[in-house]
Amino acid sequence: MSGKTVKILLIDDEEEFVTTLAQRLEYRGYYARAVHEGQAGLNALAEDLFDIVILDLMMPGLSGMDTLKQIKNNYPDIPVILLTGHGSTKTGIEGMRHDAFDYLIKPLDINELIGKINLALKK
């Protein structure tokens, strides 16, 4: 993906967390757009092309798992990395069964996330 800015869509209802994460990714040269609910994420995907989605599983309204299923149904080639809270490893594994690329447990290590992003984009 050299020469092209990687576009990342962040979907997480924790506004402060996701805004900070977007800033940290942009500081590292990525384009990151943050939205705060599943439906807003689906709307963003309908409006623009993204290279990868970072998706929180635990959200009110349209759940992360339902959002994942719709993303994979409509955009099967976009890799999705799931975020899950401590003790929710089972949910992350369930997400992998629905074609998520991988999952990470919060609190997030930014370098681990960037490593997973780079791996997902090479596939």
Q: What pLDDT shows up at residue 88?
A: 65
pTM of the model: 0.93
56, HSE (Cβ side, Cα atoms, 13 Å):
27
Q: How many CA atoms lie within 13 A of 6 on its CB side?
A: 24
- DSSP secondary structure string, 102-115? EEEESSPPHHHHHH
The Cα–Cα gap between 89 and 32 comes to 25
- In this structure, which CATH number among 1.10.3720.10, 3.40.50.2300, 3.40.50.720, 3.40.50.1100 belongs to the domain 7-122? 3.40.50.2300
pLDDT at 67 over 90: yes
Spatial CA neighbour of 70 closest among 92, 48, 91, 44: 44
**Helix orientation angle between 89-97 and 64-74, rounded to the nearest 10 degrees:** 20
| C-beta separation of 35 from 59 below 8 A | no
Confidence class for position 90, pLDDT limits 50, 70, 90: confident
Return mean pLDDT, the chain.
Answer: 92
Structure tokens at 82: 């799931």
pLDDT of the residue at 51: 98
**Residue ranges of the domains in the chain?**
7-122
